Amino acid sequence: MKNTVAILEHPGKMIIKETATPEPKAHEVLIKVGDVGICGSDVHGFQHGPYIPPKDPNQTIGLGHEMAGVVEKVGADVTKFKVGDRVCIEPGVPCYKCEFCLEGHYNVCPVVDFMATQPNYKGALTNYLTHPEDMTYLLPDKMTMVEGALVEPAAVGIHAGEMAGDLLGKKVVILGSGCIGLMTVQATKLMGAAEIVVIDVLQNRLDKAKELGATAIFDGREDNLVEKVKEVVGQYGADVVYETAGAIPTAKMALELVKRRGKILIVGTIPGDTPVDFLKINREVSIQTVFRYANDYPKTISMIASGKFDVLSMADKYFDYQDTQEAFEFSVNNKSDLIKGVIRVAKLD
């Protein structure tokens, strides 16, 4: 079987080159890749290189970790899958030995091998890849391949919702309505939030947030924004504020919008130092970072398959695999015309 891989030749330039087809180990499956979602971290990697640069400057950098495909071959000891099964993958492979893994929090495993980042920087933009059986999941017949690829960002939103605890009747503000913000909108709605206010600067994303369950939307450039939001959530602010944009200004805004004894959840990846004025939140406000997901894939798949969680309508731009360079350029330059891009390595449904 011929195999190719899309790699980051240098920031701003993706190339596709031939590579060997991997052979599955005993507990691995070989997957023919179908659809791959373009994550914000992929776009950052395309523009600037990985968030965590490799130690070896000659390291090959792959991109993409939101993936679904079809099982092409199974390792000798695989029992859960057979050739032809439609699957998606959880892209992080933990060690299963450290204290965090043993406690069930494998998402924070110190040596997790997460796709498109350290230590191997292996991306999903390839024709064939191998993956451990226990981090591979069968897709229900009613789910499309695109929905399978978008299980990964949906799981981020569901994990973020769960990290806030009881949301029934609570008032929530979500800063940022990119893919993860929109997934968080749906998760908090399903968990019973009474008010879901979304703030962004792109109207197409705000409109989608409203469609998916936001009760109020605001342009982040409006004057007196904090006061306007508090007219919706109450004079003291929101019970829970999610930062999903991965930006210092929105992280600072969260301090203005959270109520006393409320919670701020940092879901976005914020580079650099973020000043925190603790005088503004020294009324027993909790700040919690959220990192990926753990043990959330089965419920996420079930919720998408049931129709309760909509990921399909978010995928509004598709690119062929050979147009990977164009896909990333479009993602960088056309954010007002894009919610979620998907690269079709192979059309499998």
Cis before 11 (ω within 30): no
Contact predicate 211/198, CB 8 Å: no
**Structure-token pair, residue 263:** 């919670």
Whole-number percent of the chain with pLDDT over 90:
94
**The residue to which tokens 């959880």 are assigned:** 90
Cα–Cα distances in Å, from 213 out to 92, 139, 190, 309, 337?
Answer: 30, 26, 9, 11, 21
In 3D space, the residue among 86, 88, 44 whose CA is nearest the CA of residue 63 turns out to be 44
**What sign results for the dihedral spanned by CA atoms 169, 218, 157, 256?**
negative
Residues 299-319: tens digit of each pLDDT: 999 999 999 999 999 999 999
pLDDT band at 57 (very low <50, low <70, confident <90, very high): confident
The half-sphere exposure of 290 on its side-chain side, counting CA atoms within 13 A, is 30
Please determine, for residue 83, whether its predicted confidence score (pLDDT) is greater than 90: yes
Beta bridge partners of 199: 175, 218
pLDDT confidence band for 272 (50 / 70 / 90): confident
pLDDT band at 275 (very low <50, low <70, confident <90, very high): confident
* pLDDT one-digit tens code per residue, 169-183: 999 999 999 999 999
Beta bridge partners of 258: 238
DSSP assignment letter at 168: T
The pLDDT value given to residue 94:
98
pLDDT tens digits, one per residue of 230-249: 999 999 999 999 999 999 99
Q: Which helix (H) or strand (E) holds 255?
A: helix 248-257
| Residue 109 in tokens | 């495993």
Residue 311's pLDDT is 98
| Band (29; pLDDT cuts 50, 70, 90) | very high
* Domains along the chain with CATH numbers: 3-150+311-344 (3.90.180.10), 155-289 (3.40.50.720)
193-210 burial, b at 16+ Cβ within 10 Å, e below that, comes to bebbbbbbbbeebbebbb
Model confidence at 61: pLDDT above 90? yes
Q: How many CB atoms lie within 10 A of CB 287?
A: 17
Mean pLDDT of 56-65: 94
Instruction: Indicate the pLDDT class of residue 280, thresholds 50, 70 and 90.
Output: confident
Mean pLDDT of the chain: 97
Report the distance separating Cα 181 and Cα 242, nearest Å. 8
Beta bridge partners of 136: 89
How high is the pLDDT of residue 224?
97
